[in-house]
Amino acid sequence: MPYNQPKPRMRERRSCVLGVDLVTGGAGFIGSHLVDRLIADGRTVRVLDSFVVGRRENLRQHASNPDFALIEGDVVRVRSRAISGDPAGEGPRLAVEIHARVRAVAPGFDPYFLEAEWRRFWAASGRPKLRSPDAAFLAFAKGRAARG
């Protein structure tokens, strides 16, 4: 670039080089401040949040910004049963919404990690037949959260 030509504005350079920023958990305390900073820097931001902890009002100021989009959803980790410690696929079946319920009884804990830990505990205890796998998992998660 010749010396006497003005440099392109930062927003123009970033939008063509970096694309779109995805912030997971962007409606929470830390995530919303990160979104504020990215928007202030002229970035295009997409926020993915399940609103289990985050709040919509943390992002209200960006609602009319064309460089901002809010996606309500959850990041789900899909893994085979062999990896989760149940190679035969015979383990307890859990309800689809159980991870959201675990987040409520064990805030700050990763429900998928707790599930893997619970399945290992269940297998180590002789794989007993459970009347209510969901209730057993919730009780395990609640006890784990109480122990820290």
Q: How confident is the model over 45-86, as pLDDT tens digits?
A: 999 998 888 999 999 999 999 999 998 887 765 554 444 445
| Residues 61 and 111 grouped into a single domain | no
Tokens in use for 105?
A: 């009884």
Nearest Cα neighbor of 69 from 35, 100, 41, 97 is 35
Tens of pLDDT, residues 99-133: 999 999 998 888 888 998 999 999 899 989 899 99
CA distance 31 to 29: 6
Within a domain: 43: yes
Question: Are the CB atoms for 109 and 132 separated by under 8 Å?
Answer: no
Q: Which CATH number goes with the domain that contains 32?
A: 3.40.50.720
CA distance 133 to 93: 7
pTM of this structure: 0.45
Within a domain: 4: no
Strand, helix or coil at 24? strand
Within a domain: 19: yes
What Rg value do the Cα atoms of the chain yield, rounded? 22
CA distance 19 to 36: 17
